[in-house]
Structure 1
Amino acid sequence: MGGFRYGVGDVAVDSLVKDSVKEPVKERPIPRPVPALSAVALVALLLVGCTGPEPATDPGTTAEAAPSPSVSAAESSPAPSPTPVVVAPERPAAMDDDGYEGAEAAAVYFLSLDDYIMKTGDTTEWEAMSHPECSTCSKRLEQAQHIAQNGDTFTGGEMSANILHTYEQDEATGIWPLDIKVSVEPVVITDQAGDQVFADDAVEAEQRFEVLRQRDQWVIVNIVGSQHIDGDDA
């Protein structure tokens, strides 16, 4: 997969919020986990046939030997693996709020959509929440579409999010800036032949989300921040 690079917020673009961000209106150190999406797998059953014993022949008789019973053994082969079931994340009710709580819920929900679009190719909700100015949003959309077009399989990538700071709404733009710590599980991408075409370790990143309420809909305007491998120093 030439040029493919997995990551969260790996494209930095100019912020629409002034550099002089106001003091945080609150801090939320309590982790807000994004529901992990799980794949349902079934164990393949092997069917093994039995071979019957040879019939005993009386050595004192000249009777015609009975024919040996036919041997029937089912060919041992694994059952085909079922298609993994990927459930769409549930939209939180808090997104109906038009204040900072709605902005927080929208950012966390958007993160929960990431591995879903990679695994299913269903990008409808992602596109609806992506502002045209969000280059990171469009990059992730392109990657999801690339995986779907190639028929590749995306495994892993479940996210959890911890909101670190929520800042005052920017008066000029109406944007709510949020600082979020994002943790991503390891990722493996395989092609239709089952060959691995991409893999990445667990990732942690601290990112600035810029969230805007427009026409009663939350959209992600921008995602910027640093990214590092789990275990490295920030």
Structure 2
Amino acid sequence: MRVRRRTLALALPVALILGLGGCSSDDEPEPGTTAATSAAPTASEPETTEPTESPEPEPTETGPTPPPRPAAMDDTGKKGAQAAAEYFIALTEYSAISGDSRSLRAMTYSSTCTTCEALIAEAEGIKSNGYIVSGGKNDLTNITVSNRDQPTGGYAVLASFDSEEMTISEAGGKAVQVYDGDSGNVQIDVVHDGDDWRVMALVTDQGRAK
């Protein structure tokens, strides 16, 4: 299945934060002290100071940006279900790139979605090993949403997926895994639990999303 591969996306940690030093003020005399002298001050040669060059600002790296939560997810019907499914796929890609799987975990019913747990584990593994992932972009098309399932209260979101080739490499550039591009059909079962949308299951017609 390509969803699994697609969710791995670009790995590696990220943001370098440039610290700035604090400003210092001129020293002031201690309370109660004076600077009286009995002799006239002698003139001194003015000191010449070399012009100082301002250091060039160091470039900063920014990490991947998490996908914005779609406003349509505020809807608790079919519109929200579709938006939730698309958002979940975007989160799988983001978590692989950033190593931040918190939003993905928060949206997953781990007791029912074993595929989701596998995607999370893969993303975290790529991050912990310092791998770099290129490619693996996912596209969902022909999206349809079923009627609300009465027993579970959830919706089945069905779509065609297409994912490009993805390469997982060591930091030095050596490829450790290459996945060919793939396409097929996917079903993402989502439910609104009263607070937000959660994913109950994710399956594909190829049976490899596990």
Report TM bin, short chain.
Answer: 0.5 to 0.7
1:194 aligns with 2:189: no
* Higher RCO (C-alpha under 8 Å, 6+ residues apart): 2
Unaligned runs of 5+ in 1: 1-5, 11-35, 38-81, 229-234
Which segment drifts farther, 197-206 or 135-144? 197-206
Match of 1:8 in 2: 3
Paired AA for residue 150 in structure 1: N
Paired AA for residue 88 in structure 1: P
What displacement does 1:203 show? 1.5
Asked if structure 2 preserves the Cα contact closer than 8 Å seen for 1:155 and 1:187, the reply is yes
Asked if structure 1 preserves the Cα contact closer than 8 Å seen for 2:185 and 2:205, the reply is yes
* 1:130 aligned to which of 76, 97, 108: 108
Distance change >3 Å, CA 158–CA 223, structure 1 → 2: same
Question: Counterparts of 1:173-184 in structure 2 under 5 Å?
Answer: 173-184=152-163
- Bigger helix share: 2
Asked if structure 2 preserves the Cα contact closer than 8 Å seen for 1:178 and 1:208, the reply is yes
What displacement does 1:215 show? 2.9
**Residues in 1 aligned to 2:65 and 2:122: alpha-carbon distance in whole angstroms:** 20
Asked if structure 1 preserves the Cα contact closer than 8 Å seen for 2:3 and 2:138, the reply is no
Asked if structure 2 preserves the Cα contact closer than 8 Å seen for 1:158 and 1:184, the reply is yes
Paired AA for residue 180 in structure 2: D
SS at match of 2:95: helix
CA RMSD, Structure 1 to Structure 2 (Å): 2.5
Match of 1:93 in 2: 71
Indicate the percent of aligned positions where both proteins have the same amino acid: 31
Cα deviation, 1:153-212, whole Å, max 9, x if unaligned, reads 111112111243211111111010121111112111111222100111211120111111
Asked if structure 2 preserves the Cα contact closer than 8 Å seen for 1:163 and 1:178, the reply is no
Q: Extract structure 1 runs of 4+ deviating beyond 6 A.
A: none
**Residues in 2 aligned to 1:140 and 1:8: alpha-carbon distance in whole angstroms:** 9
Asked if structure 2 preserves the Cα contact closer than 8 Å seen for 1:154 and 1:187, the reply is yes
What displacement does 1:9 show? 5.3
* 1:112 aligned to which of 90, 111, 115: 90
Match of 1:19 in 2: none
1:226 aligns with 2:205: yes
Match of 1:21 in 2: none
Unaligned runs of 5+ in 2: 11-59
Match of 1:154 in 2: 133
Cα deviation, 1:36-72, whole Å, max 9, x if unaligned, reads 99xxxxxxxxxxxxxxxxxxxxxxxxxxxxxxxxxxx
**Residues in 1 aligned to 2:135 and 2:189: alpha-carbon distance in whole angstroms:** 26
Match of 2:25 in 1: none
TM-score, normalized by length of structure 2? 0.67
Which segment drifts farther, 137-146 or 189-198? 189-198
What displacement does 1:83 show? 5.6
Paired AA for residue 156 in structure 2: P
Paired AA for residue 177 in structure 1: A
SS at match of 1:8: helix
Match of 1:103 in 2: 81
Match of 2:145 in 1: 166
* Number of residue pairs aligned between Structure 1 and Structure 2: 155
* 2:188 aligned to which of 209, 212, 216: 209
Asked if structure 2 preserves the Cα contact closer than 8 Å seen for 1:209 and 1:222, the reply is yes
